[in-house]
A = this chain, B = another copy of it.
């Protein structure tokens, strides 16, 4: 498969025009998709380790930031488990953004986000993100309209800073239909081992589905930049969603052309030091 069809075109966005049950670029079923994702594991692991090695040794600031956004049940947790779970956890830092704390509310909305940005060599993953501040922030009028307006530009500036400092920013909108959300919510109610994932408050957001869709449309359009593009991932099929994000991550790592860092010490001299122990022991 190829991930390119997921990249949002420039211009006005209407998510209603993008099928959420499509599997662009992939001809196969659930079983094949799972196998394809699993098969990516080794290459992702190899490239991630090169990134980590580079961050540890060379002073390079290169890193990856994967932003996951989507309505409840769109599968941010599933992507974390199945796709991000392919990567050595040593090189991954996940931040789950909840409603801001009182401390966080005292600062600009990007304050907590800056602190959570990945360190050099890492793959940082945002489970929700600064985009909530122009999504629920807009839908529930948590800030004045002028402030919401300001935030789109602030986000673009912030992401440009990240990119200029060596971060590859990968933004995924996990796109589901309203019907799919309903099925998944009912499934959570049906299964006692899923009750913990159900929150009655989720229905409040669901009741504002159209307002959220509008907020997403605006946010996607305003923050879809060359330096930090958006990918809309059709997510009605969980197996396609997990595979597609894996493809995007792998493509990002490939694009970085990561090499094993050269030794910054004299390999032969070190070997001699180690072998000399025998003589002195």
Identify which of B80, B87, B203, B263 contacts A198 (C-beta below 8 A): B263
In the bound complex, what is the Cα–Cα distance between A55 and B92 (angstroms)? 22
Taking CB atoms and an 8 Å cut-off, the chain A residues in 79-106 that contact chain B are 80-81, 84-85, 87-90, 92, 94, 96
Inter-subunit contact B84/A274 (CB<8 Å): no
A59 at the interface (CB under 8 A from B): no
Q: What are 13 sample pairs from A and B whose C-beta atoms fall under 8 A apart? A: A77-B90, A81-B90, A85-B85, A90-B96, A90-B127, A182-B277, A189-B270, A193-B260, A195-B260, A195-B262, A195-B267, A198-B263, A203-B273
Which A residues lie at the B interface, using CB under 8 A? 53-54, 56-57, 77, 80-81, 84-85, 87-90, 92, 94, 96, 127, 182, 185-186, 189, 192-193, 195-200, 203, 260-263, 265, 267, 270-271, 273-274, 277
Beyond A53-B197, A195-B263, A203-B270, list 10 extra A-B contacts (CB 8 Å).
A57-B196, A85-B88, A85-B89, A89-B92, A182-B277, A186-B271, A189-B267, A196-B260, A198-B265, A200-B270
